[in-house]
Structure 1
Amino acid sequence: MGEISGHEVGQGSISVRRALAIALALMVAVGLIALTVFVTNSSRQRDEALAAQRHSFEVIILVRTLQSTMAEAELSLGRYVVNLQPEFGRVYVDDWRRAGLAINRLREVTRENPQQAALAAKLRAYYDQRGRLLSSAALRTRYDQKISGLAIFDRAGKVANRKELNDTLDRIIDIENRVLDARINHANATLDQSNWAATLLLAFALLLVIGAGVLGYSVVQAVAGRRAARRDADEVARRAENLEEAVAARTAELRRANTALLAEAAERESAEAQLRQAQKMDAVGQLTGGIAHDFNNMLAVVIGGLELAKRRLTDGSDDAGRHIENAMEGASRAAALTRRLLAFARAEPLLPEAVSPDALIAGMTDLLDRTLGERIKVRTRFASADWAVWVDKHQLENALLNLAVNARDAMDGDGTLTIGTGTRIVGEGELGDMRAGDYVAISVADTGCGMDRTVLDRVFEPFFTTKPVGKGTGLGLSQIFGFVRQSLGEIVIASQPGIGTTVTLLLPRFSGVKRIAPTELPPSRLPVRQRMEEQATILVVEDDPRVLNATVEALAELGHHPIPCATPDRAEALIDAHPDVRLVLSDVVMPGTTGPELIASLQPRHPHLGILFVTGYAGEIDEAAAFGGHGVLRKPFTIGALSGAVQAALARTSGPHPFEAAAAAE
């Protein structure tokens, strides 16, 4: 019985050890499975964190590359606009296209982040808006409109969307840097988690060694697993360290590239400023040379005519009037040139009205005959169906006269000039940006030498002329171009070398009432009775003594009683000394007090006075606000124009009639 009991005890002991071994094996198996799952999950999280880090680095590097590409594209465009070298234009197009592809890639990689995706879409809008402005500068330069291209490129450097675009790029980088910091912290946390898993594995192995020596092999395996985990952790740490060093090196490189780009941009701006100054000086030289030539010709006519008239008056000859007429014609041309300069400088606003082109051209026939000479045959052809246009009558006359003079020069003073009108219906998108509708076509055709493609591409550039130095200002066609565009029309040129040139002005049809301003009636033809009924006492305020004397004598010739005033400071005292003053005729630009300022100070005390401003250059004065609806007479003026302006101003005054004032005085 004892042996049996001992055997049973031995068997029981074996069973216990076997059960213990099985239990320990199960514990090891369960622990290993749980630990494997834990480590696997930690490794996966670590890989995801590292992948997120790489994604952030890609976004940052992509934005920096985009900044560099756009800066290089704008630099190439600036060189193209300045130097007109096609290779710079092609470099601009390629770089700007690569920038657009980079933005598309940026939108793709940031689509999972709503905030970054919104900024990328906003960045695309700024890129498209700026691209249209820069493309306009490139297009103007491509078609040799260099001044317009430079102006648009200069404006592109100052518009707000450039700063907004750069701010958006910096905002994307700031956000991604914050995301990158969070991802680095998350990666470090996963590394700590892996280390903690390794520590847990070691503790579990020690428990197994203490609990059961029979599982030593398992303990050794657990230790080996722990060492492997440590190696993995060290490898992860080493990779993270290497990655941080690479990011730091790339950031430093991008910072150096950005500094170089900023320095290059500053250098480019300095070079562009010097180039613009040189171009301005060259343009001023061309302008002054042409103006001096034209004015010398006109002054030669005026001075020669007056000298001949003076001699004929001394001799008692009847030719004095003819010479005076020649001098007046030269002075009128000088005044027309001055108006052209003021219009070109935008110091003289357009005064549109409804005009019949047929009637206007018919009224210019005598002027064209005298201007072009006897060897130029002027023909007219009217087919406008009596359509009217809404334009500045004088500007249209100047445009047609300029085109006629250009045609005369192209024909070398001998040929046929044809001025005609017609109608044209323009469809949407048929001619550039013109609106669809009815247009009056005014054409000026010559039989001259014509123009080749090189000249045609530059005819509208300011200061461009094919005439010799001193023979032209280069303002004519550029002024006509600006006038037609201001009138919402278009100008078209067709020319063939050796055959001739046709310039067509397309002006929108006006469906209102047509009228042509009546021709001024010379004061000598005014009835004596009418002149006596319209006489009045007029205060003349003018700082130039010669203009003051001429104006006073002209008013006296018209039967008025002028009171000269050489300075605005004396106007108040002279009005108090002459209570019968009905009208104040004042210059606009005077030293100290301007004409509008003088009238503003007089009207509270003398609200009944009529006002007439006389000016040759209003400068920066806002006419609508400063002149207050009063009449404005432009210098130089004829006696007929002065008479009409004075009568219109007297008709608007609330003061007493001259005869009533005289009766009251008696």
Structure 2
Amino acid sequence: MQRDTGNAVAWSDTIWQTVTLVVTALAGVATLVALTLTLAGANSQRDRALRLQAHSYDVMILSRTLAGTIAQAEAALGRYVISGDRSLGQLYVDDWSDAGNQIDRLSRITADNADQQRRIGVLRAAYDNRGRELSLTALSTTYGKNNQALARYYQARKAPALASINTLLDAIIADERALLDQRTTQAAHSVERSSRIAGVLALLGALLVLGGIALGWLMVRAINERLIARGEADAEWARAEDLTAAVAQATDELRRQEAKLRQVQKMEAVGQLTGGIAHDFNNMLAVVLGGIELARRQVADPVAVARHLDNAREGAERAAALTRRLLAFSREESLKVEAIEPGALIAGMSDLLDRTLGDAVSVTVRDRGRGWRVRADRVQLENAILNLAVNARDAMDGRGALTITTATRALAEHEIDHCAAGDYATVSVRDTGQGMTADVAERVFEPFFTTKEAGKGTGLGLSQIFALVRQLAGEIAIDTAPGRGTEVTLFLPRDVAAASVETVTATVPVPAAAGHGDLVVLVVEDDPRVLAATTGALRELGHHVLACNDPLAAPAMLAERDDIDLIVTDVLMPRQTGPEMIGGVLPHLPHLAVLFVTGFAGEANAEEFGDHPLLRKPFTLAALDRAIGEAMHRERPASPTRLAAE
């Protein structure tokens, strides 16, 4: 019975020991599981906190990078406005495009944050507004309006769009920094809470020590792996920076080479044009020399002499007209806004178009403009039409049919884009080329955009035409499609008043010198042959002439004589220009009439001549007489000496 009792006790102890062992094992397993889950949760929260921190850092870094890119783009634009270097203009376009890409990336990585998405939406609108402001500055520089571009650039620096961009970027960074602080605090609290739970659970059994060691070892290993990965990422970042610098250096070198190639091609084009001009000049000189030689041989026959001299004069006038056209085309003449009939303008460009486009392009001109005029600078309008013709020739690969049509159109408000309601003269250039897709047609007026091969186009021709038309309050339209050619139409406001501003060489008659005969004229000219010819022409017209071959000696001659009525002076002279000489003497002699004579005005602007007329060399006696009449009819104070005499 005692054995049975002992067996029962042993059995009972075994049961309790088993139960205790099972309970302990279960408690240990439960504790280990709880500790494992707690540590796993802590690790998960820590990993999430690290990801969120990295995400916040990415947002802040990208925001700072975006601000730097925008500042770099505006700095490039400023250098472009000051220097006019088109490579700087391209650098501005590239940087501004990179800024837009960075805004897109910023929108993608903050897609889970509604507040940030709202700010980025406002930021994108401010970026677009800023882009339009800077585009006007870039177009002004491209068009050569540097003063206007500088004014717009400095005004744009104070624009609300720039301040809005900076404010929005600061708000985005501040919001991410606040989120970063909040997430860091939450992660710290989570880790602290997990540590307390782990400490309590560690008291429940020694088995957790091994588990803690194992888990600790795993955690240390994970941290080491993260550190190694971070080091590798930093190394990759450094290599990427080095690669970026190398690519930038290579890009700069390519741009320099491209500029050299463009210059070589430009010189080739100039050489080709020079050959054609030399041919025309030789023909005209042959007419002049032949007419003079025949006149000398038939001096006994006055009728034949007059006929041959007329032929020689016609050849000389054609040569002079060709020179004026070339100077105008190369912008060597001063700019002047005037009333222009597009049909007549295009008719006068026929020789220039034929030489430029070549024999393989047939040109048809249709004038349906009904004599309507527009107010524009003749040189700018000629260049715009020539640019359109050259683009059409290139679109036809140098062979095809080109049609230039002038017409009239009455438009309603915004019937053609931004055009106001009213009458418009139109100039259309149609080619038989391959045409363009809608995507290309939408971008053709962007600066530096071109579909031509590298080195064959700058992408500035159509953008300059666009700027000119907008400056004239007009519009430009394109009708094109692949396979059916392209038609570009300029809509230019009609000049109803047709109040033209003409030079003395224009076809509109100017007052003759009637009533101003027997003038005392001082002629200032450094070339002795031209001086002799001019003084002879003035004497032939019945005037008293004083000759001066040095502009620096002219003030003394004016001081010695108080009866001089008119000074006729060349523009470009070695020691002093005509406008400089007149600017020095005219304040002391405001009654003095002035006539400028020149064969080449260089880059001089019309403002240098003031309100004094300008006569182009070579000139006829009739043209000289008309120019003197215009100079004498200009309003001036009367001479004090002559007032006293009267």
TM range (shorter): 0.5 to 0.7
Match of 2:423 in 1: 438
1:548 to 523, 531, 534: 531
**Is 1:309 the counterpart of 2:292 in the alignment?**
yes
Match of 2:107 in 1: 104
**Is 1:641 the counterpart of 2:644 in the alignment?**
no
AA aligned opposite 1:645: A
1:326 to 298, 303, 311: 311
Structure 1 residue 570, shift from structure 2 partner: 0.9
1:148-178 deviation digits (Å, cap 9, x = unpaired): 9xxxxxxxxx9999x9999999999998998
For 1:299 and 1:400, locate their aligned partners in 2 and report how far apart those are by CA, in whole Å: 28
- SS of the residue corresponding to residue 546 of structure 2 reads strand
Contact map agreement 1:357 1:421 (CA 8 A) in 2: yes
Contact map agreement 2:368 2:405 (CA 8 A) in 1: yes
1:108-158 deviation digits (Å, cap 9, x = unpaired): 256666xx9857864775489769999xx9xxxxxxxxx99xxxxxxxxx9
**Is 1:632 the counterpart of 2:614 in the alignment?**
yes
Contact map agreement 1:198 1:226 (CA 8 A) in 2: no
Change (3 A) 1:551 1:480: farther
Count of residue correspondences: 527
Change (3 A) 1:441 1:173: closer
Structure 1 residue 487, shift from structure 2 partner: 5.2
Match of 1:53 in 2: 53
Change (3 A) 1:63 1:569: same
For 1:381 and 1:344, locate their aligned partners in 2 and report how far apart those are by CA, in whole Å: 22
AA aligned opposite 2:107: N
Match of 2:12 in 1: none
Contact map agreement 1:610 1:655 (CA 8 A) in 2: no
2:549 to 566, 570, 594: 566
- 1:522-541, aligned counterparts within 5 Å? 531=514, 533-541=516-524
Match of 2:259 in 1: 276
Contact map agreement 1:531 1:559 (CA 8 A) in 2: no
Structure 1 residue 267, shift from structure 2 partner: 1.0
For 1:400 and 1:45, locate their aligned partners in 2 and report how far apart those are by CA, in whole Å: 69
Match of 2:633 in 1: 651
For 2:62 and 2:510, locate their aligned partners in 1 and report how far apart those are by CA, in whole Å: 77
For 1:196 and 1:492, locate their aligned partners in 2 and report how far apart those are by CA, in whole Å: 73
- RMSD across aligned positions (CA): 6.6
Contact map agreement 1:299 1:331 (CA 8 A) in 2: no
**Is 1:423 the counterpart of 2:387 in the alignment?**
no
For 2:388 and 2:211, locate their aligned partners in 1 and report how far apart those are by CA, in whole Å: 93
Structure 1 residue 278, shift from structure 2 partner: 1.4
- 1:251-650, aligned counterparts within 5 Å? 251-316=234-299, 317=301, 318-354=303-339, 384=370, 387-391=372-376, 422-426=407-411, 437-441=422-426, 451-453=432-434, 506-512=491-497, 519=507, 531=514, 533-624=516-607, 626-650=608-632
Contact map agreement 1:355 1:388 (CA 8 A) in 2: yes
1:512-552 deviation digits (Å, cap 9, x = unpaired): 256797846799xx7xxx65633322222233333333332
For 2:433 and 2:593, locate their aligned partners in 1 and report how far apart those are by CA, in whole Å: 56
Structure 1 residue 580, shift from structure 2 partner: 1.6
Match of 1:250 in 2: 233
- SS of the residue corresponding to residue 565 of structure 2 reads strand
Structure 1 residue 596, shift from structure 2 partner: 2.6
- SS of the residue corresponding to residue 569 of structure 2 reads strand
AA aligned opposite 1:640: A
Contact map agreement 2:473 2:492 (CA 8 A) in 1: yes
For 2:233 and 2:387, locate their aligned partners in 1 and report how far apart those are by CA, in whole Å: 63
Structure 1 residue 600, shift from structure 2 partner: 2.3
For 1:328 and 1:481, locate their aligned partners in 2 and report how far apart those are by CA, in whole Å: 41
Task: Report sequence identity in percent.
Answer: 35
Contact map agreement 1:59 1:109 (CA 8 A) in 2: no
Match of 2:16 in 1: none
AA aligned opposite 1:593: Q
For 1:630 and 1:485, locate their aligned partners in 2 and report how far apart those are by CA, in whole Å: 31
Contact map agreement 1:354 1:510 (CA 8 A) in 2: yes
For 2:246 and 2:230, locate their aligned partners in 1 and report how far apart those are by CA, in whole Å: 24
Gaps of 5+ in 1: 1-31, 71-80, 83-93, 138-146, 149-157, 203-217, 369-375, 405-416, 461-475
1:30-67 deviation digits (Å, cap 9, x = unpaired): xx9xx99xx89977874663343342365479789999
Structure 1 residue 105, shift from structure 2 partner: 0.5
Contact map agreement 1:428 1:435 (CA 8 A) in 2: yes
Change (3 A) 1:191 1:486: closer
Contact map agreement 2:426 2:489 (CA 8 A) in 1: yes
CA radius of gyration, larger in: 1
- TM-score under structure 1 normalisation? 0.58
Change (3 A) 1:65 1:382: closer
For 1:191 and 1:251, locate their aligned partners in 2 and report how far apart those are by CA, in whole Å: 29
Gaps of 5+ in 2: 1-30, 71-85, 88-96, 144-152, 353-361, 390-401, 446-460
Change (3 A) 1:302 1:479: farther
- TM-score under structure 2 normalisation? 0.59
1:169-215 deviation digits (Å, cap 9, x = unpaired): 9999998998899799869966984797489x47xxxxxxxxxxxxx
Structure 1 residue 227, shift from structure 2 partner: 6.7
Contact map agreement 1:583 1:609 (CA 8 A) in 2: yes
Contact map agreement 2:429 2:487 (CA 8 A) in 1: yes
Structure 1 residue 302, shift from structure 2 partner: 2.8
For 2:478 and 2:184, locate their aligned partners in 1 and report how far apart those are by CA, in whole Å: 70
For 1:486 and 1:123, locate their aligned partners in 2 and report how far apart those are by CA, in whole Å: 28
Change (3 A) 1:192 1:419: closer
Change (3 A) 1:225 1:60: farther
Change (3 A) 1:283 1:243: same
